[in-house]
Amino acid sequence: MASLFKKLFLILFFLLIVISLTVFVNPKLSDRIGADSPIKIKKQPETTKLVFVGDMMLDRGVKSSVINNLNGSYLSLFDYTKETLSGADILFGNLEGPISDKGNNVGSKYSFRMSPEVFPALKETGFDVLSFANNHVGDWNVSAFTDTLERASSTEIIITGAGKTKAKASKVSIIEKNGTKFGFLAFSDVGPVWIKAGESSPGILLLADPSLSQIISEAKIEVDVLIVSIHWGDEYKEYNERQQEYAHKIIDSGADLIIGHHPHVIQGTEKYKDGLIFYSLGNFIFDQKFSEETMEAGVVEIAYEGKTPIKTTFYTWKLNSFFQPEKIIQEVAI
């Protein structure tokens, strides 16, 4: 019996020596003895937030309101929305007319020309991209148009849909965020035809351009997400068949998202294939007090992981008597 105990003791002693030597030779083993296996934490993908607003016209009644009610500060127009807008990684809107002190009034029934003070206010608010393809860009002739392009450049705000030549107007504007390339194009379906961009002349892109699909498909090659802004439709009405036909054509050509404006009211939303269409966001800042619909502003917020939209929200803001978007009256997940 004593011999058996002696043998067991020797075996245990031998095993203890072997384990000790193993740990000595490989110290990392001691870290694993009695410990759980290390947990690999998967890095969460970066989220990029894009925010889109509709028509911005800071002249006429809006200018008077700024002077008389807001101490001359165009920045104050964004007092209630600055938290929402400043939270965007990319902020987009439609600039409804030139920002300039140059040019002469071409004599249209409604002619807009905004103060040069507007650009710094838009920049401080956080705007990154502005569509300048709409029916009011030529209200104060070509000199005000080109002056707007130059002022935007010096303010470091991207203008899309317009340029000093057609080649420049057709070039997709690209902003890269978190490794994803977002591209912007803009077109007008309501003129003015006389200021369409030419081979060597400044102007805008028209929706009826025969090379529409080519412009879009070539732009898509350069980016991960392609956003197309369009000035179109009938004022104060729902979207029409022409808008829908063009929207589908644009998505088929490679666009991922369409942002519409011009009707001065919010129009419907449509999911088509892998694309999303907002036919009109209505007025964001405009002096049209004559109806509730023209005093409502659509704001779209989309969160992307890479090139995939993971959350889309449509907010309806109510403009107050000073033409400030003041409060959210509706929030809808798309």
Q: What is the CATH number of domain 47-333?
A: 3.60.21.10
Structure tokens at 111: 């002619």
3-state secondary structure of 177: strand
Report domain extents, the chain.
Answer: 47-333
Rounded distance, CA 278 to CA 286, Å? 19
What average pLDDT does this structure show over 2-13? Answer: 52
Q: How confident is the model at residue 109 (pLDDT cuts 50, 70, 90)?
A: confident
Q: What's the mean per-residue pLDDT of the chain?
A: 92
What average pLDDT does this structure show over 75-89? Answer: 97
Secondary structure string (H, E, C) spanning the chain: CHHHHHHHHHHHHHHHHHHHHHHHHCCHHHHHCCCCCCCCCCCCCCEEEEEEEEEECCCHHHHHHHHHHCCCCHHHHHCCCHHHHHCCCEEEEEECCCECCCCCCCCCCCCCCECCCHHHHHHHHCCCEEECCCCCCCCCHHHHHHHHHHHHHHHCCEEECEECCHHHHHCCEEEEECCEEEEEEEEECCCCHHHECCCCCCEECECCCCCHHHHHHHHHHHCCEEEEEEECCCCCCCCCHHHHHHHHHHHHHCCCEEEEECCCCECCEEEECCEEEECCEEEEECCCCCCCHHHEEEEEEEEEECCEEEEEEEEEEEECCCCCEEEEEEEEEC
Query: pTM here?
Result: 0.88
pLDDT digits (tens, 9 = 90+) for 161-193: 999 999 999 999 999 999 999 999 999 999 999
Q: How confident is the model at residue 87 (pLDDT cuts 50, 70, 90)?
A: very high
What average pLDDT does this structure show over 30-52? Answer: 67
Q: How confident is the model at residue 27 (pLDDT cuts 50, 70, 90)?
A: very low
